[in-house]
Amino acid sequence: MFTNSQTLFERARQVIPGGVNSPVRAFKSVGGTPLFMKSAKGAYMYDVDGNKFVDYINSWGPMILGHAYEPVVNAIQEYATYSTSFGAPTELEVKIAELIISMVPNIDMVRMVNSGTEACMSAIRLARGYTGKNKFIKFEGCYHGHADSFLVSAGSGVATLGIQSVPGVTSEVAADTLTAPYNNLPAVEELVAQHKDNIAAIIIEPVAGNMGCILPQPGFLEGLRKICDDNGIVFILDEVMTGFRLAAGGAQERLNIKADLVTFGKIIGGGMPVGAFAGKKEIMEHIAPAGKVYQAGTLSGNPIAMIAGYTLLQTLQQHPGIYEQLEAKTNSLVTGIKEALGAAGIIHRVNHIGSMMSVHFTEYPINDFEAASGANNELFKRFFHGMLERGVYLPPSAFESWFICNALSEADIQFTIDATKEAVQHLQ
């Protein structure tokens, strides 16, 4: 069934570390051979063995309207003929900045970069440069990219691989990263009291998507906002996953919370390698060349990436009903999966908001990394492979969110629920 993938994986392992260019693709925690993809359209992906899958990763978020969304593909084709890179400013960069500012609350300037990692790394540098302070607080199980200072108690692949401390990250760098459990306001208050006057920023995923999908408890984000206001700390919302997904204006709009800086990735590039950070002029003008906080990129604002992102974002802005559709689809999927697991007597928790969700095999609520780590990973592995064999492609780790795309049909949802009913027969 997966012979061509197996052959390719063998070849890949000779020339690419671990056979993949990003660790979570390797199926490390679920076992088996990662599948090599050939093409994708709408809600479906096709691998090199000709298997078809309903896709619940959607490139880890960007494909909110499904794969190979025609207006995006057409725009890329047209712009590729003008040049794939200028290294000089274009009107398109101004247009996408204006568009993003019109969609996202509380920002009046945007800087484009090439990945979510760059966006978060630059936002922390900016917060430090702006406040003149060194330390920042992040949350256990949150992932903000692979820059050195974020690889402390990180989620996503770091959690999947069980890496406690990342070789190559110096203890001096790690010492400036303070960590607290997600949803634990008293722990943050204590850190702020201990390190008074030396905390530049608090960075958080407003809905965590890198330890499964974990929602902020009522009052948690508001409490962080107040701590930041009271102590001159820059509040950074990492909206790499949630941006343009929870709402056109991201978590700030959906959860009615105000950030000082916001980071973006994934959807903002329409599937091309793009990230961005944004905020009020007062802070953003500290970035070079307006200010002295240096940040740059040869391919930043790349025209092909910009037209892909612009086309997708414009569609989302012009069709706000997409968000209701996405949520309705997610809700019916959640209901069906819960019924299937419940009917088979399998203890589970499903977390979801908007078009993000995750399934954990545990009886306890999943509100932080410790709880997520306590769920039954053996069962998740078997569930993952049971679904894969039945044509449903889930994230290959319980420490990842599922992403629902709007190309998903009622029939696809029913197909997934039926696959769940069958897969759970073999779980116990």
Give the CA count within 13 Å in the CB-facing half-sphere of 266. 25
- The DSSP-derived string for 173-195 is HHHTEEEE-TT-HHHHHHHHHHT
Degrees, nearest 5: CA angle 312-317-323? 90
Q: Residue 143 interacts with ligand PMP (CB under 6 A)?
A: yes
Determine if 157 is a binding residue for ligand PMP (CB under 6 A). Answer: no
Among 240, 308, 312, 375, binds ligand PMP (CB under 6 A): 240
Q: How far is the CB of 335 from ligand PMP (least distance, A)?
A: 26
- Per-residue interface string for the shown chain with ligand PMP, residues 241-280, x marking contact by CB under 6 A: x-----------------------x---------x-----
CA-nearest of 420, 428, 426 to 341 is 420
Strand partners, 47: 37
Query: Binding to ligand PMP by residue 60, rule CB under 6 A?
Result: yes
Q: What backbone phi and psi angles, to 5 degrees, belong to 17? A: -55, 120
| Least distance in angstroms from the C-beta of 234 to ligand PMP | 17
Least separation, in Å, of the C-beta of 301 and ligand PMP? Answer: 16
Residue 322 CB contacts under 8 Å (≥ 6 apart), including other chains: 64, 65, 315, 316, 406
**Which residue among 29, 106, 117, 416 contacts ligand PMP (CB under 6 A)?**
117
| Smaller CB separation from ligand PMP, 120 or 407 | 120
> Which string of b and e fits 145-156 if b means at least 16 CB within 10 Å?
bbbebbbbbbbb
Cβ distance to ligand PMP smaller for residue 120 or 188: 120
Residues whose CB falls within 8 Å of the CB of residue 15, separated by 6 or more in sequence, listed in order: none
Min CB(240)–ligand PMP separation in Å: 3
- Cα–Cα distances in angstroms (integers) from residue 150 to residues 136, 143, 144, in the given order: 10, 7, 6
Report the residue number, 23 or 291, with the smaller CB distance to ligand PMP: 23
Secondary structure E strands in 57-190? 109-113, 135-139, 177-180
The helix (H) or strand (E) run that includes residue 45 is strand 44-47
Segment near ligand PMP (CB under 6 A); pick from 69-77, 114-122, 183-191, 219-227: 114-122
Stretch touching ligand PMP by CB under 6 A, among 3-11, 110-118, 131-139, 314-322: 110-118
Among 34, 42, 116, 395, binds ligand PMP (CB under 6 A): 116
Does residue 143 have an active-site annotation? yes
Is the Cβ of residue 66 or residue 116 nearer to ligand PMP in the bound state?
116
Distance CA 87, CA 232 (A): 37
Q: Both tokens of residue 416?
A: 């997934």
Q: Is residue 115 at the binding interface for ligand PMP, with CB under 6 A as the rule?
A: yes
| Count of residues of this chain found to bind ligand PMP when the rule CB under 6 A is applied | 17
Instruction: Report the residue number whose CB is nearest to ligand PMP.
Output: 116
- The single residue of 56, 69, 130, 143 carrying the catalytic annotation is 143
The secondary structure of the chain in percent helix, strand, coil, rounded to multiples of 5, reads 40, 15, 40
Which residues ranging from 207 to 236 are in contact with ligand PMP (CB under 6 A)?
209-210
Concerning whether 364 is annotated as a catalytic residue, the answer is no
- For this structure, is 238 an active site residue? yes
- Catalytically annotated residue among 47, 55, 176, 238: 238
Cβ–Cβ < 8 Å for 233, 195: no
Contact footprint for ligand PMP (CB under 6 A): 60, 115-117, 120, 143-145, 156, 205, 209-210, 238, 240-241, 265, 275
Catalytic residues: 143, 238, 266
